[in-house]
């Protein structure tokens, strides 16, 4: 992926299986969000392709991808002030996709049932982010992209998000999660891919990747540059 003369990603290739949770980590500016934007269809890559269950989806819009089972959340919370929690879930679907029961069940599973009729701006930051995840899950995606789901969360909120990922997603939905919190990475992910300067620096099991001296160096180097 190039932006003009700047190459943001080169030869980055990864596969995610059904039910697998794959964390993408790396220093600021490594290309993580760019990668997720390509997979979800927000950016059209200048080279390479994206496939979903073997089908080439590189030229499909984010909406078409979502209807094929590929959903995402964003790094920045983007809810509509003045609208309630259940209205948000209705927004995320077409009538034929999920009836009221399905939506209520999802709110219960996500621990949001008590807030169904509350306007979203009265919710805590953690509940707002969990609502965004529920909006992405209401269409029962096969694959879900989570862009820093715990950003700005307290320790208790982060623990709740970790539990939801383990209980609701692991083994059921293929997930790519961009995450800076290594506690979240070690607790939730099956595999970890490290991006640095737009390339894959390491990939494998969390314990191997996070213990890799080369990966530690990448983080130390990036800290020294800030």
Question: Does residue 29 touch ligand ATP according to CB under 6 A?
Answer: yes
C-beta separation of 116 from 86 below 8 A = yes
Shortest Å distance, C-beta 22 to ligand ATP: 15
Position 26 contacts ligand ATP (CB under 6 A): yes
Q: Which span sits near ligand ATP by CB under 6 A: 11-19, 24-32, 76-84, 163-171?
A: 24-32
- Interface segment toward ligand ATP; rule CB under 6 A; list 3-11, 62-70, 98-106, 132-140: 3-11
The span of 21-29, 89-97, 159-167, 212-220 binding ligand ATP (CB under 6 A) equals 21-29
Q: Does residue 41 touch ligand ATP according to CB under 6 A?
A: no
Backbone phi and psi for residue 158, each to the nearest 5 degrees, phi listed first: -60, -40
What stretches of the chain show up as alpha helix (H) in DSSP? 32-40, 62-67, 85-91, 100-109, 125-137, 155-164, 182-188, 206-210, 213-225
Is 30 near ligand ATP (CB under 6 A)?
yes
**C-alpha to C-alpha distance for 129 and 133, rounded to whole angstroms:** 6
Decide whether 6 or 81 has the Cβ nearer to ligand ATP.
Answer: 6
Select the residue interacting with ligand ATP from 5, 11, 13, 28 (CB under 6 A). Answer: 28
Q: Which stretch binds ligand ATP (CB under 6 A): 23-31, 87-95, 202-210, 217-225?
A: 23-31
Q: Does 8 bind ligand ATP (CB under 6 A)?
A: yes
Nearer to ligand ATP by Cβ, of 6 and 15: the residue is: 6
**107-114: long-range contacts, CB 8 A cutoff, minimum separation 24:** 107/134, 109/168, 110/134, 110/137, 110/164, 110/168, 111/160, 111/164, 112/85
Q: How far is CA 137 from the centre of its chain?
A: 11
Q: Which is nearer to ligand ATP, 27 or 141 (CB)?
A: 27
Total site size for ligand ATP, rule CB under 6 A: 11
Q: Does 31 bind ligand ATP (CB under 6 A)?
A: yes
Q: Is 193 in the site for ligand ATP (CB under 6 A)?
A: no
Stretch that binds ligand ATP, among 1-9, 92-100, 128-136, 213-221 (CB under 6 A): 1-9
End-to-end CA distance of the chain: 25
Those residues with Cβ within 8 angstroms of residue 51's Cβ, 6 or more apart along the chain or in another chain = 57, 58
Quick one: CA torsion of 111, 100, 42, 226, rounded to 10 degrees?
-10
Smallest distance, ligand ATP to C-beta of residue 32, A: 3
Burial (CB < 10 A; 0-12, 13-18, 19+), residue 211, is exposed
């Amino acid at each position: 992926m190039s932006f003009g003369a700047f190459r943001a990603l080169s030869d980055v290739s990864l596969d995610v299986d059904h039910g697998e949770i794959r964390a993408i980590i790396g220093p600021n500016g490594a290309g993580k969000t760019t990668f997720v934007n390509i997979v979800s269809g927000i950016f059209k890559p200048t080279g390479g392709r994206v496939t979903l269950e073997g089908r080439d989806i590189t030229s499909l819009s984010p909406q078409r991808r979502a209807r094929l089972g590929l959903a995402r959340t964003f790094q920045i919370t983007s809810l509509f002030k003045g609208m309630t929690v259940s209205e948000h879930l209705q927004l995320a679907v077409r009538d034929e996709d999920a009836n009221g029961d399905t939506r209520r069940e999802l709110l219960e599973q996500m621990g949001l049932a008590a807030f169904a009729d509350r306007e979203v701006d009265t919710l805590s930051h953690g509940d707002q982010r969990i609502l965004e995840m529920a909006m992405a899950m209401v269409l029962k995606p096969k694959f879900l992209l989570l862009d820093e789901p715990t950003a700005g969360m307290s320790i208790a909120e982060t623990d709740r998000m970790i539990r939801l990922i383990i209980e609701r997603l692991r083994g059921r939905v293929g997930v790519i999660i961009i995450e800076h919190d290594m506690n979240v990475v070690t607790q939730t992910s099956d595999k970890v891919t490290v991006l640095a300067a737009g390339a894959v620096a390491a990939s494998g099991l969390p314990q191997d990747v996070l213990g890799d001296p080369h990966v530690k160096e990448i983080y130390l180097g990036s800290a020294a540059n800030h």
